[in-house]
Structure 1
């Protein structure tokens, strides 16, 4: 279990993390989300002792990470896949890490096989593609067979097979009772992988809830309507709490009204409906609404 209590970190006058509290429980995958500059990486660095908190405390299994006697066997960490001696082979990099904890070479061979690195294990890590570098970083995180996994953007650069493997792996790890904290900017992948979501924005916790609860709270159902008389339907539902988006001459999306309500209104006025399709909100929709006012680096519309 990872527990942050009133965790803060300042760099000069900038408050990167401000009074953050959360718990990452074992037995489920916890997604860690937020815009660039939200404080996710700083928080992860504080969890594993790479940054010292300005205030508050964070523990792993009830202890400070820096106090762990055998870190690799208790916490597996992937924060920067490029943090590798580029002149070493993948195998030698992992063997050097294993030697610091008395981990046998057989475990090195095992994680190389698990992560699909067997064919490049003796090649220099400096020549690896982004995806292969990620696989090496994941192999390093798994080396000590830890109870806690902290993975920052583990699917970055991976091909579809690799992305699916990471998804299956972290869910399996959680099913074994391990604590899994996973960050990603891929909302569609996070929706398939995570059970619980923590969202940061400008160094503050914006949400801390199960995925379904977060989506339900921060999105509204949308109904796709296709009809030769869409303008009449749009006028009927022009009221507070309902928004209508015109997609084509005969297609509109109505947000904030039930499909049954739209269907009844159309029937009462003999308006033909060629399509009436309700769709639920997505994690991406919820995330964008939740963080809309907390994006530090905004781009211009084009």
Structure 2
């Protein structure tokens, strides 16, 4: 059972709250529609339930608030808008990545592809899916964790009649298995036709909470549907006779040959048509669930023209009702309205829950990182074409520069093998590693797939360490691949005897691999701090452009003292004795880090890591 108690959004700029003191429940085994016109607060209400919106109140999912649920995807499935994912990722890759985030086996993705009818489209890119397939993918994403509760925002918007029928059948099947379904809609006929219970909102407040049959009986007006080739003439004579008889009748002309007449019956409309010689092709009364399946029967639909006779408000499908504390509510559904800072009682289906309204916001409960962050990050990295494109571009540019530098004969061998001309601030491999690292967090903010409802990207240590580890592995592989390919091509072109192996190759290799890994980490942290891939690339370029020249002047000054013998002094300070080999490796590492570029990169990474931690803590404390 879903129990929403006293939901109130935080008002902005002296405006009234989008949702004000909303209390209702959605019971298991039923489909509940949250009905209201545009701006009624339906989406805000869903976001308040998911703790993605700042405000007051609390929502219980089978007796527990969301922040007390260990694995939310296994309890609540959410579809708010389109599927958040990189448009170049395949349908199957998207679901497998979300499986890692939800902590479910990857086989669940293939199972749901068949369940939602997307078999054969597994390799289709998300950005090329039609709206029907995209909505099916969204439903599959919501069902990944086999949740008990489904929350969907306008799930049938823009769908064709067969797609809408299929969607509501799936929601009905989920409810039949004991699950809870809550979806929003702006169409009263849609709510009456497809829901078991209808919760009506108006101006952010509860207007009514009714059974669908009661809703259709009391809040949907009956009408007479007429099809005639002379629709305009029949509308005019019906309106004229109603005014003469002082009856409140409204005529809506919809698609040229179709009329909807409110406030009359078939006999009266038929008699009027007969008296004026107007041929009638169809004449039927409709109410609630008996409307057309395609949804065009809604009064005031696109292109509809209304003619009203009498004092009734033109084009009102839902009967007027008071909005506020005295609004109609289902019997036994709500015991007392929740108030901020006061304990409230909520009763329904024989159960009673007590809670305290409190201020809370989107950041009070930190968004959860994937349950399997390393597997998630691998799926994210390998599921988009940007990674192989960057690697291919780095290899091509580096090889071209290596051939040009080798032909000139004036560049040093390390610069030739890495394709690093003197004019470039960084070699192509380091730039490529930084770009791949920047994409790791940049894509999370641009195409958020980790959190329901596009909340904040998780800032958990597990996700950060997974991204740093994967970025380091990719950077190492890229660095080795670039040097190997450049070396083999240079030997093929110029001969092996012209490419000697330098004696200090271990130091050179350590410096080279440290550079590419450091650039990859700078890209990851820069994009994580500033929430954009461009910021990550800027952090990478800031090392050679801004910091290295300054450090070169500082480190080459007359007061600089040598750090020689530091390993031996560290050994004496630490106490335990280690082998001379460890001394050599530690001295080599200090020598690499002691270079201007190493010092600049180390300081940059330290600053970015501190900024990442600080911004995460500050955002958490703010709420």
Task: State the TM-score, normalized to the length of structure 2.
Answer: 0.40
Aligned pairs (5 A) from 1:1-302: 1-12=1-12, 13-14=14-15, 15-52=17-54, 54-222=55-223, 234=241, 238=245, 243=249, 279-282=285-288, 284=298, 288-290=317-319
* 1:33 shift after superposition: 1.5
1:118/1:186 Cα in 2 relative to 1: closer, same or farther (>3 Å)? Answer: farther
Q: Secondary structure at the match of 2:120?
A: helix
Q: Structure 2 vs 1, CA of residues 258 and 156 (structure 1 numbering), >3 Å: closer, same or farther? A: closer
Q: Choose between structure 1 and 2: higher helix proportion.
A: 2
Unpaired stretches in structure 2, ≥5 consecutive residues? 227-236, 254-258, 290-297, 300-314, 324-623
Alpha-carbon spacing, 1:80–1:259, altered in 2? closer, same or farther (3 Å): closer
Q: Deviations over 1:51-73 (max 9, x none)?
A: 13x22222211111122111111
- Specify every segment of 5 or more residues in structure 1 that has no aligned partner in the other structure, as ranges: 295-302
Matched residues in 1 for 2:265 and 2:89: separation?
60
Change (3 A) 1:220 1:158: closer
Distance change in 2, residues 1:256/1:124 (3 Å): closer
CA deviations on 1:127-150 (whole Å, 9 max, x unpaired) are 323322212111101111111111
Q: Distance in 1 between matches of 2:128 and 2:121?
A: 10
Q: Is the 8 A contact 1:224 1:254 kept in 2?
A: yes
Task: Supply the distance in 2 between the matched residues of 1:199 and 1:87 (Cα, whole angstroms).
Answer: 39
User: Cα 1:58–1:237, aligned 2, differ >3 Å: closer, same or farther?
Assistant: farther
Q: Describe the shift of the 1:213–1:293 C-alpha distance in structure 2 as closer, same or farther (beyond 3 A).
A: closer
Q: Secondary structure at the match of 1:132?
A: helix
SS in structure 2 opposite 1:30? strand
More displaced 10-residue stretch of structure 1: 89-98 or 281-290 = 281-290
Alpha-carbon distance change, 85 to 293 in structure 1, aligned in 2, over 3 angstroms: farther
TM-score normalised per structure 1: 0.77
Between Structure 1 and Structure 2, how many residues are aligned?
280
Contact 1:77–1:141, Cα closer than 8 Å, also in 2:
yes
TM-aligned CA distance change 1:220 to 1:92, over 3 Å:
closer
Backbone CA RMSD of aligned residues: 3.7
Distance in 1 of aligned mates of 2:224 and 2:160: 34
Structure 1 residues 116 and 280: CA distance shift in structure 2, 3 A: closer
Counterpart CA distance in 2 for 1:170 and 1:84 is 23
* Structure with the larger strand share: 1
Larger radius of gyration: 2
**Cα pair 1:195 1:210 within 8 Å, conserved:** yes
Whether the 8 Å CA contact 2:207–2:321 is kept in 1: the answer is no
Q: For the residues of structure 1 that align with 2:284 and 2:87, how far apart are their CA atoms? A: 52
Cα 1:198/1:235, change in 2 over 3 Å: closer
Q: Deviations over 1:185-223 (max 9, x none)?
A: 455443331111111121111221112212221244456
Q: Is contact 1:34–1:291 with CA below 8 Å preserved after alignment?
A: no
Q: For 1:80 and 1:253, how far apart are their aligned partners in 2?
A: 32
